[in-house]
Structure 1
Amino acid sequence: RGRRRRERAEPPAEDGGATSSSRAEKGEPPRDPVEQARAICLRLLTGTPRTRRQLADALRKREIPDEAAEEVLSRFEEVGLINDSAFAEAWVESRHHGRGLARRALARELRTKGVDATLIDAAVSRLDSEQEEDTARDLVARKLRATRGLDRDKRLRRLAGMLARKGYSEGMALRVVRQALEEEGEDTEYFGDEGF
């Protein structure tokens, strides 16, 4: 654990090897931009999958010329090292099961990562409404005990608010929370439908 922290504190040179100033001191010519772009992308892909736009942004930050970046990104896509479709599917699977996020929240996250809208639609459509509602029920069941002792309106708002932050629609959130509270013996007959 200690070693891992030290490694994070001392990031490798951004060009994937010796810095340009140390190369100049040694009398070496500056590295080819395509070679630099390739090294940067490989280093970034070693830790975790990334989208094409994430890699393009990283190359832009490191001032890699657009032509060199495009050449490397296209080649990496061609050989399957960059695959936004697979990235989106894995992201949906992981974040839905791991964090309980609904389709709306997952789509929002994928947009911020630069995934194309059609790929996002395809990935989130793999989650059906029934699966999403089952996950919402599990989330509420886990949080229900922590709300005991609160008045029922506060419990409803707190639990439905938690689901809303995870991207669940208001209608589904209210339905799932009411059901859970009713199963616990709460009288939900007078809960208004005005929202939370």
Structure 2
Amino acid sequence: MEAYSKIGEPMKSLEIFREMQEQLGSTNVAAHHKIIEILCKAQEVELAESLIIEFINSNLKPLTPSYIDMMSMYFSLSLHDKLELAFSQCHEKCRPNRTIYSIYLDSLVNVGNLDKAEEIFNQMLSDGAISVHTRSCNTILRGYLSSGEYVKAEKIYDLMCQKKCDIDSPLMEKLDYVMSLSRKEVKRHFLLL
């Protein structure tokens, strides 16, 4: 399957997968993960969706790697509604991890749903099994800076300093500017007193 995928023949990969199912009577978890990954990379949305349903109905586990592939495909195609549905399904059917949460957080920030993004970020922050990392911190920081939520951006900056997270260069430039405005405002306030 992988060989056909590498030469840009995802349908041939699917044929191999179907032949395996016919000859063996069923397929294993690794084969399901691989074909879903191949179809997602090829952005074959409907085929990938039908195969993940088939995978879920097979009662094989774990499902998480296939949900990651599906959500990544939806993200790259800007299909936020489908991504959100996949996140909810993943939450019901398996234990979501940091990668699942991060993809969802990226999508929420991209569509400008900062309230929900903040809620998801706070869930990540409070759940030690998921936790936040450099990518998720930069994502929420980008959201706050682009929407003018500068006080919240400064709080995330403080958290990132605490956790020793690297800040993306363009965000640092904007944050430096925002913080310089904040310092000027504080100085002006004290001068008026």
TM-score normalised according to structure 1 size: 0.28
Identify the structure with the greater helix proportion.
2
